[in-house]
């Protein structure tokens, strides 16, 4: 499976891709598998696996293997560091946190993780990762110089830098548990600058109306994570979000 091609074709055919993010450190591998299965039943297009802290090693491998027992959806790594690489995944968002003050999150972790990705043979999907305020845990851990929500031109500048560096995807992230995603104005401005490059939006997307606004503004892909952990009806919640963003 070519995961990048799979995602791009869904975006072209259905308008917007839905990605479910599962943090291995937040629950047991068995619980993660149940969440992934429920998300698939709700219509999600792929499963992202990762987190800011404690999301690597044996726990990561076990979580992926358990999820593979219950679904054939693509599993995409969303690593917080080189420790977030697993040979059991189908692909990895190979990303650079462009607005970090710490070189480790711009290039050093990438250099340490690259040989592992190469040896495992998993597909690497290049991504410019950009943290918007409030930033949450990932903003703190990644020492990001947070982009204000009312400054879309700064987000555009970083997004263009990622595009010109050859990154295929750009991810605007407000952080896990944020009160909302990037503004529609910021999403629209960034998408206009990116053109055919894929734009992912995540953080604070908990309901259909918020998801719909992101998609209408230009998001090619929507990520939901915290809401999956909080709801008692994962299938229903994912179905609500997916229905809002598809053509």
Residue 139: count of CB within 10 angstroms of its CB: 25
From 40-54, 182-196, 228-242, the region with the lowest mean pLDDT: 40-54
Given a cut of 80, is residue 56 above it in pLDDT? no
Given a cut of 90, is residue 158 above it in pLDDT? yes
Given a cut of 90, is residue 176 above it in pLDDT? no
247 falls in which pLDDT band (50, 70, 90)? confident
Given a cut of 90, is residue 40 above it in pLDDT? yes
Residue 152: count of CB within 10 angstroms of its CB: 23
pLDDT of residue 1: 62
Say if residue 134 is preceded by a cis peptide, omega within 30 of 0.
Answer: yes
Summarised one tens digit per residue, pLDDT across range 90-105 is 999 999 999 999 999 9
DSSP letters for 52-73: SSS--HHHHHHHHHHHHHH--S
DSSP letters for 2-56: -HHHHHHHHHHHHS-EEEEEE-GGGS-HHHHHHHHHHHHHHT--EEEE--SSS--
Summarised one tens digit per residue, pLDDT across range 41-51 is 999 999 999 98
User: 80, 141 in Cβ contact below 8 A?
Assistant: yes
Summarised one tens digit per residue, pLDDT across range 108-148 is 999 999 999 999 999 999 999 999 999 999 999 999 999 99
pTM: 0.95
Closest C-alpha to 124, from 82, 162, 76, 166: 76
pLDDT of residue 227: 86
Average pLDDT over residues 28-35: 96
pLDDT of residue 41: 97
Q: Is the dihedral of CA 178, 68, 53, 7 positive or negative?
A: negative
Which residues have CB under 8 Å from 196's CB, separation 6+? none
Given a cut of 70, is residue 53 above it in pLDDT? no
54 falls in which pLDDT band (50, 70, 90)? low
């Amino acid at each position: 499976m070519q995961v990048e091609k799979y995602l791009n074709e869904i975006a072209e055919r259905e308008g917007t891709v839905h990605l479910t993010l599962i943090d291995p450190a937040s629950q047991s591998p068995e619980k993660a598998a149940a969440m992934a299965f429920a998300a698939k039943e709700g219509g999600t297009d792929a499963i992202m696996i990762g987190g800011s802290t404690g999301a690597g090693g044996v726990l990561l491998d076990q979580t992926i293997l358990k999820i593979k027992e219950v679904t054939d959806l693509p599993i995409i790594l969303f690593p917080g560091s080189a420790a977030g690489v697993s040979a059991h995944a189908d692909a990895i968002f190979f990303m650079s946190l462009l607005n970090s003050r710490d070189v480790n999150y711009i290039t050093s972790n990438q250099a340490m993780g690259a040989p592992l990705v190469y040896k495992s043979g998993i597909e690497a999907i290049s991504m410019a990762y950009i943290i918007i305020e409030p930033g949450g845990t990932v903003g703190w851990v990644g020492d990001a110089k947070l982009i204000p929500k009312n400054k879309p031109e700064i987000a555009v500048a970083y997004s263009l830098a990622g595009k010109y560096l050859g990154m295929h995807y750009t991810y605007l992230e407000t952080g896990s548990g944020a009160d909302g995603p990037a503004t529609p104005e910021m999403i629209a401005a960034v998408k206009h600058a990116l053109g055919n490059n894929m734009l992912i939006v995540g953080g604070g997307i908990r309901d259909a109306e918020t998801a719909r606004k992101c998609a209408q503004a230009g998001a090619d892909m929507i990520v939901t994570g915290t809401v999956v952990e909080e709801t008692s009806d994962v299938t229903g919640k994912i179905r609500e979000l997916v229905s809002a963003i598809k053509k």
